[in-house]
Structure 1
Amino acid sequence: MAGRNHLYIPGPTNVPSEILNAMHVNMEDHRSPVFPELLTPLLQDLKKIFKTEAGQAFIFPATGTAGWEIALTNALNPGDKVLIYRFGQFSHLWAEMAKRLGFIVEIHEETWGKGIPLDKLEARLKEDPKHEIKAVLATHNETATGVTSDIGGVRRAMDEANHPALLFVDGVSSIASIDFRMDEWGVDGAISGSQKGFMLPAGGTFLAFSQKALKATENSTYPRCFLDLKDQMTANQNGYTPYTPSLPILYGLRKSLEMLLEEGLEHVFARHHRLAEGTRKAVFAWGLKLCAQPGFESDTVSAVVVPENKDAREVISTAFSRYDISLGAGLSEVAGKVFRIGHLGDMNDVSMLGALAGVEMALLDNGFNIKPGSGVAAAMEYYRSTAK
């Protein structure tokens, strides 16, 4: 088929040509005297994305999943209790990881389509006067269901309960796309990945730890080696890494940060919100609904529920085979029940309209009772009325 595959999944996202060009570099000596000129500014500028002045940023040649493990194993001890609300595949996987690593995991089930229930969290923490819970694991943006939780609200609930637990946040599909305020929200460990809002290939996990979390690393006895933050801190203070870094990721990150900061984070967040709103208007114009319940809608991915007599996998297959569009599949409990439209990273109004047109054609091909052009028209009117 002529043209290229159009990527509308919630990660990996499209990589801009500027970043691809920046990553096309000859290999160099990562122990050279000039290497700190690359790494040190990257760590400082990452703090701007996390919105932290007090915290410390880290770069690992890994993925967001490794970021989960870094947070757990560097600041906690074997057998510590952690609390997590499970409301999608990625919160589920983080909980399963914690269990496999030997932590006591207190899992609270929530409806897939909702986020973290702040009232329930506050009440549960108040029931823990001995502070046996050492960390709250919060999934900021549940990619599987298109749900965003209120992390500022999580911090308020913890403060109202006067609970000292660490707050670790999975921001893999939110940071650099959705407003994130590490210092203001009292986040102790923020985790992100290269392949979402940073518009890079997979292969980098970016983290930030608060001073409270860094202090906790001094008392952690959990066995670790490659994922040890102490090794990173020792090497980073001189502008180096404890092992061979991924140079293309670092050079790509340099360009990514320049692009994000040049656009301005508030403008980045506003752009993602507009793209998401247009998508939601298209979905409702088709007579369909979101998996996310009102108030929890994500600005980076929309999980669209299909009628019970339809299979979302057929929509995804048709979109790919006929129109060269990649959509996200439903995962685990929502497999076959939803398809996901990613609207994050290097996208604008026109690219989003292309995605919606492809989805609409796939829906029509699979016998959905929708009016041709209805979704695209709804999104188009919204984008036109809100364009600046």
Structure 2
Amino acid sequence: MDNKLMLMIPGPTPVPEAALLAMAKHPMGHRSKEFDAIFAECTENLKWLHQTSGDVLSLTVSGTGAMEAGIINFLSAGDRVLVGTNGKFGERWAEVAVAYGLNAEIIKAEWGQPLNPEDFREKLEADTEKQIKAVIVTHSETSTGVLNDLETINRHVKAHGEALIMVDAVTSLGAVSVPMEAWGLDVIASGSQKAYMIPPGLGFVAVSPKAWKAYKTATLPRYYLDLGKYSKDAAKNTTPFTPPVNMFFALQASLQMMKAEGLENVFARHRRLMTTTRAAVKALGLPLFAADGAASPAITSVMPPASVDAQKVRTLMRKKFDIALADGQDHLKGKIFRIGHLGFVCDRDILAAISALEVVLQELGHEGCTPGAGIAAAAKELAGS
């Protein structure tokens, strides 16, 4: 029998039935009053999720497209920007910045380690002539499972006064609080296939008034990703270009689910899934790639001992249990595996994944734990939460 595939990767994430059924409806005209009403509801709920009253714009792009739009709409060639890199996606934003002729200065940490806010403070305080125009930070580094200290880095940016802060929140938005207005964040980019609980295809860019002021003088080329067009049309509950209509049906359903659960409950669930997964993995004698104090609530990266082949773990999890885990990226490929726990994931999913992992580890001859230790640790964590 073909089993139900269980996605335990950082994206795409599982999609709830309500969103799948919504997508199965016949399309409607994207210039119709009916679609305008759906779009308006989605926009309002996106603002709720971002904790802002300002613009949250929907684009037909991936998370990378949303982040690129967030960079090119507010900067000009030659602008000095600081880019934090401690994984695959931080490095990607540095590549995007260079591709558009920005003067990108890298603030680096080793993969698996969080960015040091003090490194940003030193650069920003030394910039007495206010030449730094933006600071680009990946909040949850998907490639490593590290959550960077966005709040502290942002405080240093605010003290600078001139620079914008641009945030890759692709695997943090909806999994951890990203209070846009309270923190004064300027640009936040995210993607539909993560904590939004729907398939890939939509990207979102939230924009502050300070960023819109910079937009007026920014000169990087833009057309399809010109956020000014999206903002103007969003005010009329429409889009400048043809949107993926059925994806908005799904977005409407998923945001309704999140609102029914409640924002703090959504965040608490992700914290619980994170702590449960990490406790179980530790009990199984497997080292974690990110330290407890810098762990992402979206994904747990595991660096198994030499006696356990990470690739074989992933292969057997898929073959025996139809559970998909993510590989490492770049130089970590085949050296770690990543367990996603964001979006439409519940306690039962974690228990199932840990049980399967225990079976796989036993089959691979892992002797670093007592059988049942992972589930016992998970149960204890859930009972106390």
- For Structure 1 versus Structure 2, the TM-score category normalised by the shorter chain is over 0.9
Gaps of 5+ in 2: none
1:118-177 residue CA offsets vs partner (Å, 9 max, x unmatched): 1111011111112222110011100111111121111212234x3421000000001011
Counterpart of 1:270 in structure 2 is: 268
Letter in 1 for 2:15: V
Note the alpha carbon deviations across 1:193-218, whole angstroms, 9 max, x for none: 10010000000001210011112111
- Give 2:201's aligned residue: 203
CA distance in 1, matches of 2:176, 2:259: 14
Read off the aligned partner of 2:371 and give its amino acid letter.
Answer: P
Offset at residue 220 of structure 1 (A): 1.4
User: What is aligned with 2:240?
Assistant: 242
Q: Give the RMSD, CA atoms, in angstroms.
A: 1.3
SS of residue matched to 1:295? helix
Q: Structure 1 counterpart of 2:7, which letter?
A: L
* Contact 1:86-1:92 at 8 Å conserved across structures: yes
Change (3 A) 1:152 1:320: same
Shift of 1:375: 0.7
Partners in 1 of 2:286 and 2:330 — Cα distance?
21
Unaligned 5+ runs, structure 1: none
Match of 2:19 in 1: 19
**1:1-47 per-position Cα deviation (integer Å, ceiling 9, x unaligned):** 43211110011100000111111121211112333211122112111
Secondary structure of 1:190's partner? strand
Percent identical residues:
38
The residue number in structure 2 matching 1:42 is: 42
The alpha-carbon deviation at position 309 of structure 1 amounts to: 4.7
Aligned positions of 1:176-191 closer than 5 A: 176-191=174-189
Deviation per CA, 1:229-281: give whole Å up to 9, x if none. 11112222222111111011111111111110110010000011111111010
Q: Which contiguous aligned blocks of 4+ residues in structure 1 show a shift greater than 4 angstroms?
A: none
- C-alpha contact 1:126 1:163 (8 A) present in aligned 2: no
Cα contact 2:107–2:120 (8 A) shared by 1: no
- Give the match for residue 100 of structure 2: 101
CA distance in 2, matches of 1:96, 1:356: 37
Contact preservation (8 Å) 2:287, 2:305: no
- For residue 290 of structure 1, what is the aligned residue in structure 2? 288
What letter corresponds to residue 40 of structure 2 in structure 1?
Answer: T
What is the distance in 2 between the residues matched to 1:115 and 1:283? 21
Equivalent residues of 2:135, 2:157 under 8 A apart? no
Deviations 1:319-341 (A, max 9, x none): 11222110011111322221000
Give 1:367's aligned amino acid.
G
State the match for 1:124 in structure 2. 123
Q: 1:345 is matched with which residue?
A: 343
CA distance in 2, matches of 1:278, 1:294: 12
Aligned 8 A contact 1:125 1:163 in 2: no
1:103-252 alignment runs, 5 A limit: 103-160=102-159, 162-252=160-250
Aligned residues: 384
Whole-angstrom CA distance in 1 between matches of 2:223 and 2:213: 18
Partners of 1:359 and 1:226 lie apart in 2 by 45
Aligned to 2:87: 88
Normalised by the length of structure 2, the TM-score is 0.97
Aligned AA (2:343): G
Partner in structure 2 of residue 371 of structure 1: 370
CA contact (8 A) 1:177 1:197 kept: yes
Task: Assess if the C-alpha contact under 8 Å between 2:67 and 2:205 holds in 1.
Answer: no
